[in-house]
Structures are given as C-alpha cells and as structure tokens.
C-alpha cells in the first residue's frame, strides 16, 4: 500500500527532526521541550494511523456497514 510508505516516511522525518532538536546545543531545555512536544504528539498520531492502515490491510472490512478500524484499539 502506498499509504504505508508515506506514513513510514513521515515517521522517519519526525524522528529525524526530534533527533536534530536533541543534538542542537544552541537551544535551552525549555526551548527543546516547546519544539519537541508538538512533534511527539504528531508522531503519536502518525503511528496510530500506521497501525490502523496495517490492521485494515491484514483485516479488510467485510461487512456492508463500513469500517470499524478503531474498534480494536486499546486506548
């Protein structure tokens, strides 16, 4: 699936940006926190989307009532 490739690329880009912030010696810890928090939230959303797409790939919806991809989550 092409969407999996895009999600993997997005995760790699987010991870690279987070690592860049971690190794940036010019930023204070509070500045790093401010910049990393939205990235980590974004990473969580992209990881969940990736898991959902993988689940749908392995278990395609068979009912005419539509997709229930979120029903397997353990939030």
- Residue-averaged pLDDT of the chain: 87
DSSP 20-35: HHHH-TTS-HHHHHHH
Residue 71 domain flag: no
- Of the pLDDT bands very low, low, confident and very high (cuts 50, 70, 90), residue 16 is very high
| Rounded alpha-carbon distances, angstroms, from residue 48 to 7, 8, 26, 32 | 10, 12, 32, 24
Residue 37 domain flag: yes
Residue 50 domain flag: yes
Residue 7 domain flag: yes
For the chain, the domain total comes to 1
Q: Note down the domain range covering 13.
A: 2-57
Name the DSSP letter for residue 38.
Answer: H
- Of the pLDDT bands very low, low, confident and very high (cuts 50, 70, 90), residue 69 is low
Give the pLDDT confidence score for residue 56 in this predicted structure.
86
Put simply, whether the predicted model's pTM sits higher than 0.95 gets the answer no
């Amino acid at each position: 699936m092409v969407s999996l490739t895009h999600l993997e690329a997005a995760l790699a880009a987010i991870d690279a940006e987070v690592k860049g912030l971690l190794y940036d010696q010019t930023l204070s810890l509070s500045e790093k926190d401010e910049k990393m928090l939205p990235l980590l939230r974004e990473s969580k959303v992209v990881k969940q989307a990736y898991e959902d797409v993988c689940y749908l790939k392995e278990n395609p919806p068979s009912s005419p009532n539509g997709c229930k991809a979120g029903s397997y989550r353990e939030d």
